Structure 1
Amino acid sequence: MALAGASAVLPPSMARAESIWDMFARNRVLREADPAGASAAAQALIETTEPILSYDTAYNLQLAISQYEPFVAAGGWEDVPREVYGLRLGNDREGVIALKRRLMSSGDMPFAERVDNIVDQVTDAAIRTFQARHGLRLTGEVDEATFYAMAVPASTRLNQLYLNLQRVTNMAPNLSERYVVVNIPAATIEAVEGGYVVQRHTAVVGRVERATPILASKVHQINFNPYWHVPKSIIRNDLIKYMNEDPEYLTKFRIHIYDGKGQEISPTQINWQTDEAVNYMFRQEPGAENSMGHCKINFHNPYDVYLHDTPTKSLFGENARFHSSGCVRVEGVNQLVTWLLRDNGWDLSRVDSTFASNERIDEALKNPVPIHTTYITAWANRQGTVSFRDDVYQFDAQGKVAFEA
């Protein structure tokens, strides 16, 4: 949200015993609160049709910078005390006033001259707004991820705005009428058309040691119900370990081994105490347990990365979705595939039925769609909502604004 401009000057909280009036006040707060409504309102602030990557984003970032600069020059927001950790709706204890000051100073909570020690419905809504802007689960609780996001100094946030303005400005001239953006720090995907987001998807991207690369390419093909050819890096770093832990691992996950002549061999023919396995080809059969799920979205690149479905849907509900080996897993991938294959005459019903059939089909796009994997840790929309994400790959810390496509 738009920055309030200065922290409220409020008296410190004081420890005190709870009176019967305090208990009545807390019960009233709990009774009258609408957490679901507060979450929906917070989500609406960020789920606009404006792309993370566009010319408009650059303009909105400039506006955000103009708000943050004088605020940071005045000292920024105060540090959050440990007492705010764990606070949630109905709590009445030391730290609440400091929490409210923090939420007011970042514009998540309306300014008030006087506040009390209770986390009321206004404070609960403000916590959820803060969480939405930082890509966190909307719990309404100052949990670990929320606490650490609140502890980031305003000066650091301003520096993120500077860096990302340069990144967006560098990339915007290369955008077309229709494109896909994978924003790695946010672990999200946007399908953009005519300057508007028509689809937004939660994603799982590469962990730090196996980072998703920054690139620009074009989606040219969809593989339905693909085989998965296990990369040598995964054979070496993961598969050998799994087989030592469970000799039936390959059988359970329908992974077959082939030698250089294309002949299938048995897992018992390999010495799993060595790296011998990397000399063979490992192929997983199509199906629900396939590591790529029901589809693979291909675009030319030198890193052998792609977008794909996944059988592990639970990861999409996490705060930090950095688990892959460089490729990108897509929630609701059937909708994205339908959008990509629109000019091929595919609709959602056909995509879903093809998924369910387990039939192997390779469909080339009649009109390849540009795709950009990017690193944007701060952006803003025209409503004044400013979003931030963690510098997971430390590109902000390096001051990196240009990337090789």
Structure 2
Amino acid sequence: MRLSRRHLLTSAAAAGATLAMPAIGRAEDGGFDLFAKDRAMRNVDRDGNTATAVSLVETIEPILSFDTAYNLQLAIQNYEAFIAANGSWDEPTRETFGLELGKSRKAVSQLKRRLMINGDMALEKRINDDFDAKLDAAVRLFQARHGLIINGKVDEPTFYALSVPADYRLNQLRLNAQRVEQWASTLSDRYVVVNIPAATIEAVEESQVVQRHTAVVGKVDRATPILNSKVHQVKFNPYWTVPQSIIEKDLVRYMNEDMEYLTKFHIRAFDSKGNEVSPTTIDWSTAQDPLRYTFRQDPGGENSMGHCKIDFYNKYDVYMHDTPQKALFGENARFHSSGCVRCEGIDSLSAWLLRDNGDWDLPSVQAAFENGLREDVPLKVQVPIHTTYITAWANRQGTVSFRDDVYQFDAQGLVNFADA
């Protein structure tokens, strides 16, 4: 089943019957004190609600683990029972879009009912139309479970996630339960997981997540490959050699837009004999001539790999690295790379990977970054890394998380991946 955000807001039903829940009624206004209401809204602990939401999602279970496989089976049972009894939940109405703290309209009570069904909000017998502190906390939890920017507002990504039918979510749970079980049986005591749909990285040790990092992964047309490998080297302040695919798809276009592009970003051109040449001597009218050259970016602040590159064995020439484009880590959809994985807080991950080398800890890694140290450090103990595709999982607290099927592997029903 394939979903699209296209026309979602404009095609939402203008009104819809709320899911029948006999235990939930609607409260009367009863002369509510508007001034008291305004004071209550101002005193809502938004940051506290966000922190609580994150704590309910980011527990210590690795996404690839037998614990997660078990928790997924429980989630499947709950969704099956709900669908058997109710069919699905109602889609949000157009009036749901834009709801946030302090709003008061009929769509608020409908949103409360929906979030009670999902377990994001405690069940209440009487429901009013006020977007109150409890609903703010519930929306933030819903956003955390779906990997969205947590702002407490029903913005476009949140509206889209609310619009996904229950049977679609059940299908995600079933597919991913099979994927997790398949991977869990192959894991060692210490490993790194890149979950592509979530654009996140976990460092795992003794069946617990010891580090979690936000990532940026491959675009749909330049997907990050799914594989099992081993991290074997950390490079500090590396040179970056531009891959041929990027020369062909990007660099030629950039140079046609601005002939100073290579100079501005400290990228040098070399011929087949290793001699540096001027970019102006290259024919940029097509990709044919540029592909005859090697383009290498100097270390430094503008380097596309930032201060660090983490190498693991693979045939795709992909790796993990730092980036000067830190703002990308704050986006909802972090699918911007040409297949490599950019890692936020890569200094901490590098120190964890290099701990068996003896001379490396977090302060020494940070000093290498700051001082521009140019050094390649092989790991004395190579660490397994798994790049995988999990769009639904659950933790021991019963919190169920979902992500978009960005590469359409769920739509294809893929469980086994050729390179895994």
TM-score, normalised on structure 1? Answer: 0.95
Q: Distance in 2 between matches of 1:204 and 1:169?
A: 25
1:68 corresponds, among 69, 73, 79, to: 79
For the structure 1 residues 55 and 238, does the alpha-carbon distance in structure 2 shift closer, same or farther, using more than 3 Å as the test?
Answer: same
Q: Distance in 1 between matches of 2:20 and 2:321?
A: 45
For the structure 1 residues 117 and 400, does the alpha-carbon distance in structure 2 shift closer, same or farther, using more than 3 Å as the test?
Answer: same
Secondary structure, aligned partner of 2:412: coil
Q: Distance in 2 between matches of 1:270 and 1:257?
A: 9
Secondary structure, aligned partner of 1:396: coil
Q: Distance in 1 between matches of 2:292 and 2:280?
A: 15
1:129 is matched with: 141
For residues 235-384 of structure 1, what are the structure 2 equivalents within 5 Å? 235-275=247-287, 276-345=289-358, 346-384=360-398
Conserved 8 A contact 1:58-1:165: yes
Q: Distance in 2 between matches of 1:97 and 1:163?
A: 33
Deviations 1:14-45, CA, capped at 9 Å, x for gaps: 9xxx9984633540331331111100100100
Q: Distance in 2 between matches of 1:22 and 1:73?
A: 42
Q: Does 1:56 align with 2:73?
A: no
Distance apart, 1:273 and its partner CA? 1.1
Superposed CA RMSD in Å reads 1.7
Q: Distance in 1 between matches of 2:185 and 2:122?
A: 37
Deviations 1:61-92, CA, capped at 9 Å, x for gaps: 01111111110112121211111100000001
**Runs of 5+ unmatched residues, structure 1:** 1-5
Secondary structure, aligned partner of 1:95: helix
350-359 vs 374-383, greater mean Cα deviation:
350-359
2:177 corresponds, among 155, 165, 174, to: 165
Conserved 8 A contact 2:73-2:177: yes
2:34 is matched with: 23
Q: Distance in 1 between matches of 2:133 and 2:26?
A: 21
Q: Distance in 1 between matches of 2:338 and 2:56?
A: 32
1:3 is matched with: none
**Runs of 5+ unmatched residues, structure 2:** 1-18
Q: Distance in 2 between matches of 1:347 and 1:359?
A: 15
1:88 corresponds, among 82, 100, 103, to: 100
Q: Does 1:36 align with 2:30?
A: no
Q: Distance in 1 between matches of 2:204 and 2:146?
A: 22
Q: Distance in 1 between matches of 2:63 and 2:78?
A: 19
Distance apart, 1:7 and its partner CA? 5.7
Distance apart, 1:249 and its partner CA? 0.6
Secondary structure, aligned partner of 1:376: coil
For residues 203-222 of structure 1, what are the structure 2 equivalents within 5 Å? 203-222=215-234
Secondary structure, aligned partner of 1:137: coil
1:105 corresponds, among 108, 114, 117, to: 117
Q: Distance in 2 between matches of 1:143 and 1:295?
A: 35
Secondary structure, aligned partner of 2:106: coil
Once the two structures are aligned, what percentage of the paired residues are identical? 64
Q: Distance in 2 between matches of 1:325 and 1:255?
A: 18
- Which amino acid letter does the alignment assign opposite residue 198 of structure 1? V
Q: Distance in 1 between matches of 2:26 and 2:337?
A: 45
1:120 is matched with: 132
For the structure 1 residues 41 and 116, does the alpha-carbon distance in structure 2 shift closer, same or farther, using more than 3 Å as the test?
Answer: same
Q: Does 1:184 align with 2:196?
A: yes
Secondary structure, aligned partner of 1:256: strand
Conserved 8 A contact 1:8-1:104: no
1:398 corresponds, among 412, 417, 420, to: 412
Q: Does 1:46 align with 2:57?
A: yes
Q: Distance in 2 between matches of 1:163 and 1:114?
A: 37
- Which amino acid letter does the alignment assign opposite residue 347 of structure 2? N
Q: Distance in 1 between matches of 2:107 and 2:36?
A: 18
Secondary structure, aligned partner of 2:378: strand
For residues 132-143 of structure 1, what are the structure 2 equivalents within 5 Å? 132-143=144-155
Q: Distance in 1 between matches of 2:205 and 2:20?
A: 40
For the structure 1 residues 395 and 7, does the alpha-carbon distance in structure 2 shift closer, same or farther, using more than 3 Å as the test?
Answer: farther
TM-score, normalised on structure 2? Answer: 0.92
- Which amino acid letter does the alignment assign opposite residue 61 of structure 2? E
1:148 corresponds, among 160, 169, 172, to: 160
Deviations 1:118-153, CA, capped at 9 Å, x for gaps: 100000000001001001111000000000000001
Secondary structure, aligned partner of 1:174: coil
